[in-house]
A and B are shown apart, each in its own frame.
Chain A
Amino acid sequence: MSSTLPPSRPKRPEFRNINALTDLPSYRLPVAGIVSILHRVSGALMFLLMPFIIWMFDTSISSEISFAKFSSAFTVGLGFVPGWFMKLIALALIWAFLHHLIAGLRHLWMDMRHAVSKEFGKSSAIFTLTLSVGLTLVLGAKLFGLY
């Protein structure tokens, strides 16, 4: 193909093998792109922490004794893991769930009303980020006993 091009034509830049450490930090994503990649990050996080989520379901629901163990895991800690760290993991899960849920509802909304504008993409992305981070802060403050 390239042999048919006139020789004066400059070679088109080609970006391959993106290096996660040197290239990604300088990527300028639009706000909808940030929501999109965070949708993946939050989903992958919940996938990896799924055994922890089921452990919480298990200990909180099996019996009163296990429920007490569940509660104390977030105050006095569990094994060598301190309670504040358990709360931190729970907070990460709260954020992941909220972001994934709201970004997912945004997807469903856009799929149903398939005339989607660039402006709506941006404004709904800002709405998603604001609401998910805002609710995470509110619930996080409750989790760490600020109110």
Chain B
Amino acid sequence: MLTLTRKIGQKIFIGNGIEIVVREIRGRQVRLGIQAPEGLPVFREELYDNLAESNRQAQSTLDRERATMLPEP
């Protein structure tokens, strides 16, 4: 993993369209500003993990026989 040191107000660019700036450091918390192409998903880790777990559960628990018999809505 690439690790960079930045000060408040300094930025990181990812590719051509993503800009991350350190806005504020307060104790153990860092506020980041993120500018990305419109609609590009940007997730907090917790939200991404929740989505990934929900997807994994949908796949790993799939009862295909039951799925073929669910009534149409």
Q: Do A and B bind?
A: no
- Which residues on B are within 8 Å of A, measured CB to CB? none
- Which residues on A are within 8 Å of B, measured CB to CB? none
